[in-house]
Chain A
Amino acid sequence: MSKRDIIICRCEDVSLADIHEALDMGYRDFESIKRILRVGMGPCQGQSCAHLVKNEIARYNKVNPETVKIHKTRPLISGVVLKDIAESDEDE
């Protein structure tokens, strides 16, 4: 299977080939790669791609995957409709 056809981030449609190109260009950590390719920026916020990207970074840098940092967990953990928040405590 070609690296182009292996999808790493389904939310933002990023392939394994894209990840390898970014690594080759010198983006060698999760945060930098995220800024260029949008991995982890979609609705799942990296829950499916982060560990895959982490492994690729570790392999490229020849380090233990445990030592590779991924992005910060930020609210919200799953998508919420803004209107629901707006109307949640009208009497405040």
Chain B
Amino acid sequence: MNRAEIVIVGAGISGLSIAYNLAKKGMKNIVVLDKSHFLAGATARCGAGVRQQWATELNCILARKSIEFFSHANETLNYHRDIEFKQGGYLILSTSKEEDIQFEKNVKLQNSLGIPTKHLTKDEALKIVPHLNPDSFTTATFCETDGHINPFLMSEAYYLAAQKLGVEFHFFNEVEDIVLEDGKIAKVITDKMEIQTNKVVDAAGGYAQEIGGMVGIDIPVYSENHEILVTERATQMLEPMVMSFSKNIYCQQVPHGSIMMGRNNPNALHNHDVSSSWRFLDKMAKTVNHILPEVAKQRVIRTWGGLYNITPDFQPIISDSNVKGFYIACGYSGHGFMFAPITGELLTEIILGEPLEYYAKALHMDRFNDMDKIDKEHSVV
């Protein structure tokens, strides 16, 4: 039978980053399992925006550190292609007095953490995106070091770097059970093989709950469909990501030229559906036509869906657990792509029993034992 030092369930951006970081620290015999082809989960379906403009200190820190990594990822990972990190900024629109006040607070917090966000007047925002509908917003915040990355190529960069360090990958291998002996992990069973191991990482994205269930842990997360669309290639017209929480839109032109946009469906059911709906297309088209009429003149060529995996405070779980050898990285809502570098670094420290960064405690699953004390992130679409 196969033996592994550790088995990572899920080869999305989280699993890839964890595998790479563990291998870089010298761990041998790392096996990554995925039930499907390369990048079947949320990672290949996401908007791949990376931003530091958050409302909680924790998310600000995680995002800032991850962006530091992305800015030299090609060299660090010795990647033969380019991850296409475009730092065109995020322009976040406010549409009411209340939002203005909240944004003022956010900017103060972000600045105090070394994130160079500015609160802009309408005219200043219009200088950055001249074709914004001036009647669709009041003020805006802008952070010029936020941006976008090609999610496929970023993932491939981690994947190849991990492979070079000896990590073994098995695709089309669905984990069906995890066997415990005396309360400790003993083996992982897939539809194709069995692997003896004492350590498992749950990085199964939208299926993290189900993997937790295999060792008797009830991870407080659920999954829901988030839809997104892409237009055909357009002439350069949108430098930053434009986003509004109150109007429910994010919209970004990627270096390839196509424009991606998505929105949240408040009525989404908690399940694993990733289908496309006419309703999304209709609402999305109306929203973008209102805020960015020039963008609305482009042809949409595809819509799709992917799973957000959501915790009660919209912040991730990066944590060990009360089952010895079982580690968790899930619950990223709409920001697990951008947090991947820090996910890999932190979980590696946890697994290797190294001294932890001070903020790591706030990512432990135990925080949900006392629901009154959690610090919710509100700046989400």
Contacts and interface: CB of A to CB of B under 8 A. Distances in A.
Interface of A: 27, 29, 31-32, 35-36, 38, 41-43, 45, 74-76, 79-83, 85-89
B98 interface: no
B276 interface: yes
A82 B292 CA distance: 11
A83 B296 contact: yes
Contact of A76 (B36, B153, B295, B301): B301
B301 A79 contact: yes
Nearest to B39: A35
Contacts of B289: 82-83, 86-87
8 contacts: A35-B152, A74-B303, A82-B284, A82-B285, A85-B281, A86-B282, A86-B296, A89-B282
B288 interface: yes
B286 A86 contact: yes
B255 interface: no
Given A31-B36, A76-B301, A82-B295, 14 more contacts: A31-B40, A35-B44, A35-B152, A35-B156, A41-B230, A45-B302, A75-B302, A79-B300, A81-B299, A82-B285, A82-B296, A82-B299, A86-B285, A86-B288
A43 B232 contact: yes
A41 B302 CA distance: 8
Contacts of A36: 38, 152-153, 156
A45 B285 contact: no
Contacts, number: 87
Nearest to A85: B285
Interface centre among B297, B301, B303 (most CB of A within 10 A): B301
A2 B286 CA distance: 47
A74 to B, nearest CB: 5
A2 to B, nearest CB: 21
A82 B300 contact: yes
Nearest to B153: A36
Interface string B270-293: 000000101001101110111001
